[in-house]
Amino acid sequence: MKDNIQISGIRAYGYTGALPEEQVLGQWFEVTLTLWLDLSVAGQSDRLSDTHDYVSIVQATQQIIQSQKYALLEKLAEAIAQAALANDQRLTQVQVRLTKLTPPIPNFSGHITIEILRSASVCQ
Protein backbone atom coordinates (compact mmCIF):
# COMPACT_ATOMS: atom_id res chain seq x y z
CA MET A 1 0.00 0.00 0.00
CA LYS A 2 1.30 3.43 -0.89
CA ASP A 3 -1.03 5.65 1.16
CA ASN A 4 0.57 6.90 4.36
CA ILE A 5 0.56 9.62 6.96
CA GLN A 6 3.91 11.02 8.06
CA ILE A 7 4.26 12.67 11.45
CA SER A 8 7.61 14.31 12.16
CA GLY A 9 9.07 16.29 15.00
CA ILE A 10 7.52 14.33 17.88
CA ARG A 11 9.78 15.27 20.79
CA ALA A 12 9.85 14.11 24.37
CA TYR A 13 12.28 13.91 27.26
CA GLY A 14 12.98 10.34 28.28
CA TYR A 15 15.25 7.94 30.12
CA THR A 16 16.40 5.35 27.59
CA GLY A 17 20.10 4.57 27.35
CA ALA A 18 22.72 1.97 28.14
CA LEU A 19 24.56 4.19 30.63
CA PRO A 20 23.14 4.45 34.17
CA GLU A 21 23.19 8.24 34.08
CA GLU A 22 21.01 8.24 30.93
CA GLN A 23 18.30 6.45 32.87
CA VAL A 24 18.56 8.98 35.73
CA LEU A 25 19.30 12.30 34.03
CA GLY A 26 17.43 11.63 30.80
CA GLN A 27 17.69 13.34 27.42
CA TRP A 28 15.65 14.51 24.45
CA PHE A 29 14.39 12.15 21.76
CA GLU A 30 12.73 12.89 18.45
CA VAL A 31 10.47 10.56 16.49
CA THR A 32 9.16 10.50 12.95
CA LEU A 33 6.33 8.08 12.27
CA THR A 34 5.08 6.87 8.92
CA LEU A 35 1.70 5.15 9.15
CA TRP A 36 0.43 3.09 6.22
CA LEU A 37 -3.32 2.79 5.77
CA ASP A 38 -5.93 3.18 3.06
CA LEU A 39 -6.71 6.90 2.82
CA SER A 40 -9.15 6.61 -0.09
CA VAL A 41 -12.27 6.50 2.11
CA ALA A 42 -11.24 9.68 3.95
CA GLY A 43 -10.34 11.28 0.63
CA GLN A 44 -13.91 10.75 -0.51
CA SER A 45 -15.81 11.36 2.74
CA ASP A 46 -13.82 14.24 4.28
CA ARG A 47 -14.59 12.76 7.73
CA LEU A 48 -12.02 12.47 10.51
CA SER A 49 -13.51 9.12 11.52
CA ASP A 50 -12.41 7.67 8.17
CA THR A 51 -8.71 8.36 8.72
CA HIS A 52 -6.16 7.93 11.49
CA ASP A 53 -6.44 10.26 14.48
CA TYR A 54 -2.79 11.23 14.65
CA VAL A 55 -3.25 13.25 17.84
CA SER A 56 -3.60 10.02 19.80
CA ILE A 57 -0.42 8.44 18.45
CA VAL A 58 1.59 11.62 19.02
CA GLN A 59 0.47 11.65 22.65
CA ALA A 60 1.05 7.90 23.05
CA THR A 61 4.56 8.21 21.59
CA GLN A 62 5.42 11.05 23.97
CA GLN A 63 4.02 9.09 26.91
CA ILE A 64 6.09 6.00 26.06
CA ILE A 65 9.30 8.06 25.80
CA GLN A 66 8.59 9.90 29.05
CA SER A 67 7.49 6.93 31.15
CA GLN A 68 9.43 3.87 29.93
CA LYS A 69 13.09 3.15 30.68
CA TYR A 70 15.00 0.91 28.30
CA ALA A 71 18.68 0.27 27.74
CA LEU A 72 18.38 0.29 23.95
CA LEU A 73 16.87 2.62 21.37
CA GLU A 74 15.74 -0.49 19.51
CA LYS A 75 13.48 -1.48 22.42
CA LEU A 76 12.01 2.03 22.66
CA ALA A 77 11.33 2.09 18.91
CA GLU A 78 9.68 -1.33 19.13
CA ALA A 79 7.40 -0.15 21.95
CA ILE A 80 6.37 2.87 19.87
CA ALA A 81 5.69 0.71 16.80
CA GLN A 82 3.58 -1.75 18.78
CA ALA A 83 1.58 1.08 20.36
CA ALA A 84 0.90 2.63 16.95
CA LEU A 85 -0.31 -0.65 15.47
CA ALA A 86 -2.48 -1.37 18.51
CA ASN A 87 -3.92 2.16 18.38
CA ASP A 88 -5.63 1.72 15.00
CA GLN A 89 -6.50 -1.61 13.40
CA ARG A 90 -6.58 0.06 9.96
CA LEU A 91 -2.79 0.50 9.99
CA THR A 92 -0.98 -2.06 7.86
CA GLN A 93 2.56 -0.88 8.64
CA VAL A 94 4.38 1.63 10.77
CA GLN A 95 7.88 3.01 10.36
CA VAL A 96 9.56 4.52 13.41
CA ARG A 97 12.60 6.78 13.07
CA LEU A 98 13.91 7.40 16.57
CA THR A 99 16.69 9.91 17.15
CA LYS A 100 18.76 10.40 20.28
CA LEU A 101 19.52 14.09 19.95
CA THR A 102 22.44 14.31 22.40
CA PRO A 103 24.12 10.93 22.76
CA PRO A 104 26.77 10.87 25.50
CA ILE A 105 29.72 10.19 23.22
CA PRO A 106 32.92 12.18 23.84
CA ASN A 107 33.87 14.61 21.05
CA PHE A 108 30.69 13.83 19.08
CA SER A 109 28.03 16.45 18.42
CA GLY A 110 25.88 14.42 16.02
CA HIS A 111 22.73 12.41 16.47
CA ILE A 112 22.04 8.68 16.57
CA THR A 113 18.98 7.51 14.62
CA ILE A 114 17.51 4.07 14.25
CA GLU A 115 14.69 3.15 11.93
CA ILE A 116 12.40 0.15 12.09
CA LEU A 117 9.48 -0.99 9.93
CA ARG A 118 6.79 -3.21 11.40
CA SER A 119 3.71 -4.76 9.83
CA ALA A 120 0.40 -5.20 11.59
CA SER A 121 0.56 -8.98 11.20
CA VAL A 122 3.79 -9.12 13.24
CA CYS A 123 2.47 -7.09 16.19
CA GLN A 124 -1.04 -8.53 16.45
Give alpha helix (H) positions in 12-123: 20-25, 40-45, 54-67, 73-87, 120-123
How far apart, in whole angstroms, are the C-alpha atoms of residue 60 and residue 4?
Answer: 19
**Catalytic one of 2, 69, 75, 100:** 100
CA angle 118, 20, 16 (to 5 degrees): 25
DSSP reduced 3-state for 12: strand
Residue type at position 61: T
* CA-closest candidate to residue 96, choices 106, 82, 108, 107: 82
75 flagged as catalytic: no
Catalytic site positions: 100
